[in-house]
Amino acid sequence: MKHIDPRIYQIAALAVLLTYGVTRLAFDVSATRILLTLAIATSTQFVCSRFARIPFDPKSAAISALSLSLLLRSNGFFLIALAAVVAIASKFVLRWNGKHVFNPTCFAIVLLLATTDRVWVSPGQWGNVAFFGFLITCIGGLVVNRAARSDVTYAFIASWALALFGRSAWLGEPMTIPLHRLESGALLLFTFFMISDPRTTPDSRAGRILFAALVALGAGYIQFRLFRTNGILWSLAITSFFTPVIDMLFRAERFVWNRNGGPQCEPSSLSFSS
């Protein structure tokens, strides 16, 4: 039986989460803005594909646009549109040995956070609704398992939870504090849909587990020592620089999307693909 591309599942999951957020949690993002973000991301993907002379595939553009609509906020639409362009263009420009250097959505968000004070990420928009967190977890688990990247997801959440509980235990804080920090829809979205990106994580399982642990440790340092918000996003962007080194230390077959449907691996260098 022909495999269904896991990105189809991811698009559906993100669309469900966004619809729930807009209709039930009053997310501060309009349907018009969402559609414009999708249009800009898809158009950028089309133009870049033509320049790179590869087949146009809108699925990854849709994933980036939906992720930006879920996470990034600004009073004006221009910076959101810019983030969509940067996210898609980064896949074609920032590459190493056939792989994306950064997760596109993470790169665009971090770049705008670093260069302007007119955008922000609002993790509190999700609330602490247990059902909604469970929904994200279940859908996210489906996606990462079909994309063969559940190891990096679970390694990160385990490492991050260990860091949070370990810090609270060291400081003598009540355990309700780290539990509250884990009750975040934005954290689950990052864990199941961003760090699990198979085109930017290390090729080997050992490398991915190391990568996840480094992201968690870096996030803890940024958040609790440098006192910056969005520590996990900053940490993922910074740790991505070390993916080529991890791939050299732990060699394995390269992950690619099979355009006939589903993932596959190749042992050699890849041609240009999105």
Flag whether 265 is in a domain. Answer: no
| Token pair 């977890």 in the structure block, residue | 137
DSSP 184-209: -HHHHHIIIIITT-TTTS-SSHHHHH
Query: What is the structure's pLDDT at 10?
Result: 82
Helix, strand or coil, per DSSP, at residue 266: strand
Q: Helices H, strands E: what count in the chain?
A: 12, 6
Task: Please tell me which of 38-47, 53-62, 117-126 the model is most confident about, judged by mean pLDDT.
Answer: 38-47
User: How would you write 125-152 as a 3-class SS string?
Assistant: HHCCCHHHHHHHHHHHHHHHHHCCCHHH
CA distance 46 to 66: 17
| Least confident residue range of 30-44, 56-70, 180-194 | 180-194
Query: What is the structure's pLDDT at 271?
Result: 33
Flag whether 175 is in a domain. Answer: yes
CA distance 129 to 134: 9
Mean pLDDT of the chain: 84
Provide the CA 20 distance to its chain's centre, in angstroms: 19
Tell me phi and psi for residue 143, to 5 degrees.
Answer: -65, -50
30-64 as b/e: b if 16+ CB within 10 A: eeeebebbbebbbebbeebbeeeeeeebbbbbbbb
CA distance 24 to 164: 30
Q: Which domain holds residue 244?
A: 6-257
Flag whether 87 is in a domain. Answer: yes
Flag whether 267 is in a domain. Answer: no
- For the record, the structure tokens of 138 come out as 């279940």
Query: What is the structure's pLDDT at 185?
Result: 75
116: left (phi over 0), alpha (psi -120 to 50) or beta: beta
How do residues 163-214 score in pLDDT, each as one tens digit?
999 999 999 999 999 988 887 777 888 888 888 888 889 989 999 999 999 9
Flag whether 18 is in a domain. Answer: yes
How do residues 213-272 score in pLDDT, each as one tens digit?
999 999 999 999 999 989 999 999 999 999 999 999 988 776 665 544 444 544 333 333
Flag whether 67 is in a domain. Answer: yes
Query: What is the structure's pLDDT at 157?
Result: 92
Number of domains observed in the structure of the chain: 1
How do residues 84-93 score in pLDDT, each as one tens digit?
999 999 999 9
DSSP 24-56: HS--S--HHHHHHHHHHHHHHHHHHHHHHT---
Query: What is the structure's pLDDT at 241?
Result: 93
Flag whether 137 is in a domain. Answer: yes
Flag whether 273 is in a domain. Answer: no
CA distance 180 to 169: 15
Q: Are 256 and 270 in contact (CB under 8 A)?
A: yes
Side-chain-side CA neighbours of 224 within 13 Å: the count stands at: 16
Query: Model-level pTM?
Result: 0.87
The proportion of the chain whose per-residue pLDDT surpasses 70, expressed as a percent, equals 81
Task: Please check the confidence at residue 127 and state whether its pLDDT lies above 50.
Answer: yes
Query: What is the structure's pLDDT at 13?
Result: 82
